Every structure is written in C-alpha cells, then in structure tokens.
C-alpha cells in the first residue's frame, strides 16, 4: 500500500471514530490534533480547548476553561487578553489592529493597534466581530453576527451591527 492510500485509510478510520463518538465531522487538522494540547502549547489556561483551524496572531492570553470554536480569529498583534470561562463560537473574529489609515493614506500612515480585553464568563456568538481596542466586561452575552465596536459593560447582553444592549 502506498503512503497516500495508508493516509486516506487512517483518515477514514478517524472520521468514522469521530462520527460514532461525537456525531460530527471536523477538518483533517482537528482529526489529527488534540484541542486541549493546542491550547496548552499556546500557554492558554487549564481546561481551555482550541480548534486546530483557529488563527492565532501575536500576543494572545486566554484564561481557564475557555472554549474556542472552529474558524475563529484571535488577533493579538496589539495585545489580546481573554478571561476565564469564555466561549467563542464558530467564525468569531477578535481584532487588535486595523489597516484603515494605512490603506487610505496609500501606505504612508502606519497600521493602527490597540489592545482588546474580554472579561470572564463571556459568550461570543457565531461570526461576531469585535474591533480593536474594545473592552468587554464580565458576564456578557454577545449575539451571533454582532459587530462590537464599543466597550460592553459587565452583565450586558448585546446584539446587532453595531451591537446594542437588549
């Protein structure tokens, strides 16, 4: 058996095992890796899991018992801190930089950076986008598809584009 056939057979077995055990299909990277080990390798807190296809840039700190879903962007190029017990749903994007001024100046102005902070016990819905420099308090719920471009107070529930309290 050649190497490709061996690899395909392995993938088939891993897919079947994932389907039987968890009733799900995941990317090849997630079949071959351990989400908790990925989080440990990045220095994230105990009990945190992070899918293989998460884009992690720069200085990102994540607390304990967090769940970072598939296809998430964690941009720590300007410094990103995330507290404990935070769930970041599939496709959410959290930024600490933008290139607006650089683009509009024809490349003359620099990239803008600002740290983003997310408290503890925060739920971030699927495909939510959090802009650079935003501070999110504890016990916050951010609805799916929300665009967060201002600070969110502790205990708030927000949704929409831009995100507003509910």
Q: Considering the entire predicted model, what is its pTM? A: 0.91
Statement to judge: residues 85 and 27 lie in one domain? no
Parallel, antiparallel or unpaired: strands 67-68 and 49-50: parallel
Mapping DSSP onto H, E and C, the string for 110-123 reads CCEECCEEECCCCE
DSSP labels, 70-109: TT-EEEEEEEEEE-SS-EE-TT-EE-SEE-HHHHHTTT-S
Residues 66 and 129 in one domain: yes
| pLDDT tens for each residue of the chain, 166 residues long | 699 999 899 999 999 998 998 898 888 988 888 999 999 999 999 999 999 999 999 999 999 999 999 999 999 999 999 999 999 999 999 999 999 999 999 999 999 999 999 999 999 999 999 999 999 999 999 999 999 999 999 999 999 999 999 8
Residues 91 and 121 placed together within one structural domain of the fold: yes
- What pLDDT is attached to residue 26? 87
Euclidean distance between CA atoms 10 and 126, whole angstroms = 31
Residue 71 in any domain: the answer is yes
Q: Supply the pLDDT for residue 24.
A: 85
C-alpha span between 164 and 24 (Å, rounded): 34
Domain contains 38: no
Q: Which residues pair with 135 in a beta bridge?
A: 117
Exposed e or buried b for every residue in 129-158, given b needs 16+ CB within 10 A? bbbbbbebbbebbbbebbbbeeebeeebeb
With respect to residue 51, please indicate whether it lies within any of the assigned structural domains.
Answer: yes
- Our CA angle for 15, 64, 30, nearest 5°, is 15
51 and 28 within one domain: no
One domain, residues 96 and 51:
yes
Q: What is the reported pLDDT for 1?
A: 63
Residue 104, domain member (yes or no): yes
CA distance 18 to 85: 25
Domain count, the chain: 2
Asked if residue 89 lies in contact with residue 69, where contact means CB atoms within 8 angstroms, the answer is yes
Phi/psi of residue 139, nearest 5 degrees: 55, 45
Query: Which residue segment(s) compose the domain that 154 sits in?
Result: 44-165
Say if residues 120 and 138 touch (Cβ distance below 8 Å).
Answer: yes
CATH number for the domain spanning 53: value is: 2.160.10.10
Is there a single domain that holds both residue 27 and residue 81?
no
Asked, for residue 21, whether it belongs to a domain, the answer is yes
**Which pLDDT score, from 0 to 100, does residue 63 have?**
98
Please check whether residues 51 and 26 belong to one and the same domain: no
If asked whether residues 54 and 100 sit together in one domain, one would say yes
Q: Are residues 118 and 84 part of one domain? A: yes
């Amino acid at each position: 058996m050649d190497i490709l056939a061996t690899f395909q057979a392995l993938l088939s077995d891993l897919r079947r095992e994932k389907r039987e055990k968890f009733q799900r299909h995941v990317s090849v990277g997630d079949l071959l890796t351990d989400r908790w080990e990925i989080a440990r390798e990045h220095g994230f807190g105990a009990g945190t899991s992070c899918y293989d296809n998460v884009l992690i840039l720069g200085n990102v700190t994540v607390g304990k018992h967090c769940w970072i879903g598939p296809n998430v962007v964690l941009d720590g190029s300007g410094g990103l801190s995330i507290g404990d017990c935070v769930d970041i749903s599939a496709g959410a994007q959290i930024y600490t930089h933008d290139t607006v001024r650089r683009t509009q100046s024809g490349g003359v102005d620099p990239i803008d950076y600002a740290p983003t902070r997310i408290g503890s016990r925060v739920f971030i819905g699927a495909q939510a986008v959090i802009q650079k420099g935003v501070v999110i308090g504890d016990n916050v719920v951010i609805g799916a598809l929300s665009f967060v471009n201002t600070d969110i107070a502790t205990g708030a529930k927000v949704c929409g584009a831009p995100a507003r309290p509910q």
